Amino acid sequence: MSVLKVVELMANSKKSWEDATEKAIKKASKSIKNIKSAYVQDQSVVVNNGEVSEYRINLKVL
């Protein structure tokens, strides 16, 4: 039997969803050892005056 710890994170970026993902993993790796994979559960954006101003993700880290 295996036990797996899953941590859910939220991150944002003004550049892209990929940048938000990288920021989340970099920050999480400071306190979580041996991160093996991550799953982007949800993506969204903030829109101001018809322009995308922020990219947001919900991420599960394994």
3-55 per-position pLDDT tens digit: 888 999 999 999 999 999 999 999 999 999 989 999 999 999 999 999 999 99
Q: Give the chain as a DSSP string.
A: ------EEEEEEESS-HHHHHHHHHHHHTTTS-----EEEEEEEEEEETTEEEEEEEEEEE-
Q: Which pLDDT score is estimated for 3? A: 85
Domain segments of the chain as ranges: 7-61
CATH 3.30.1660.10 fits 7-61, yes or no: yes
pLDDT of residue 5: 86
Give pLDDT, residue 51.
96
